[in-house]
Structure 1
Amino acid sequence: MPVAGSAGTTGLGVEMTRVGNRWRVTRPWPPQLRPFLHSYAGYWEAAASPYRVRLVPTGRAVVVINLGEPFAQVRRLADANPNNSQVTGSLVVGLEDGPRVCDHPGGQEAIRLELTPLGAFRLFAVPMSELTNRAVELGDVLGPQAGLLVEHLAATSDWGARFDLLDFALSARLARGPEPAPEVRHAWRLLSRSGGAIPVGRIAAELGWSQGYLIRRFTEQIGLTPKTSARVLRFHRAVRLLTREGANPTDVTAACGFYDQAHLNREFRALAGTTPGRMAAARVAEGALPQ
Structure 2
Amino acid sequence: MPVVAVARAGAGAGTSGRGVEMTRVGGRWRVTRPWPAHLRPFVHSYAGYWEAAVSPYRVRLVPTGRAVVVINLREPFAQVRRLGDTSPVSQVTGSLITGLEDGPRVCHHPGGQEAIRLELTPLGAFQLFAVPMSELTNRVVELCDVLGPRAGFLVEQLAATSDWGARFDLLDIALSARFERGPRPAPEVSHAWRLLSRAGGAMPVGRIAAEVGWSQGYLIRRFTEQIGLTPKASARVLRFHRAVRLLTREGANLTDATAACGFYDQAHLNREFRALAGTTPGQMAAARVTEGALAL
Same fold (TM over 0.5): yes
**What is the one-letter code of the residue matched to 1:163?**
F
Question: Which residue does 1:93 correspond to in 2?
Answer: 98
Question: Which residue does 1:145 correspond to in 2?
Answer: 150
Contact 1:64 1:92 in 2 (8 A): yes
**What is the one-letter code of the residue matched to 2:215?**
S
Question: Which residue does 2:160 correspond to in 1?
Answer: 155
Distance 1:281 1:10 in 2: 37
Determine which of 52, 57, 63 is the counterpart of 1:46.
Answer: 52
Contact 1:4 1:10 in 2 (8 A): no
Cα RMSD between the aligned structures? Answer: 0.9
1:108 aligns with 2:119: no
TM-aligned CA distance change 1:95 to 1:229, over 3 Å: same
Q: Deviations over 1:112-158 (max 9, x none)?
A: 00000000000000000000000000000000001000000000111
Contact 1:44 1:108 in 2 (8 A): yes
Determine which of 198, 213, 217 is the counterpart of 1:193.
Answer: 198
Determine which of 256, 260, 263 is the counterpart of 1:258.
Answer: 263
Determine which of 105, 123, 133 is the counterpart of 1:128.
Answer: 133
Helix, strand or coil at the partner of 1:132: coil
Determine which of 6, 26, 32 is the counterpart of 1:20.
Answer: 26
Distance 1:188 1:55 in 2: 22
Distance 1:66 1:127 in 2: 24
**What is the one-letter code of the residue matched to 1:201?**
G
TM-score, scaled to structure 2? 0.96
Determine which of 4, 29, 36 is the counterpart of 2:12.
Answer: 4
Distance 2:288 2:198 in 1: 23
Task: Give the C-alpha shift of residue 167 in structure 1.
Answer: 0.2
Q: Deviations over 1:156-198 (max 9, x none)?
A: 1110000000000000000111000000000000000000001
**What is the one-letter code of the residue matched to 2:279?**
T
Aligned residues: 288
1:233 aligns with 2:241: no
Distance 2:114 2:146 in 1: 21
Distance 1:251 1:214 in 2: 32
Contact 2:92 2:140 in 1 (8 A): no
Structure 2, unaligned runs of 5 or more: 1-7
Q: Deviations over 1:50-76 (max 9, x none)?
A: 000000000000000000101000101
Distance 1:124 1:200 in 2: 26
1:248 aligns with 2:253: yes
Contact 1:74 1:103 in 2 (8 A): yes
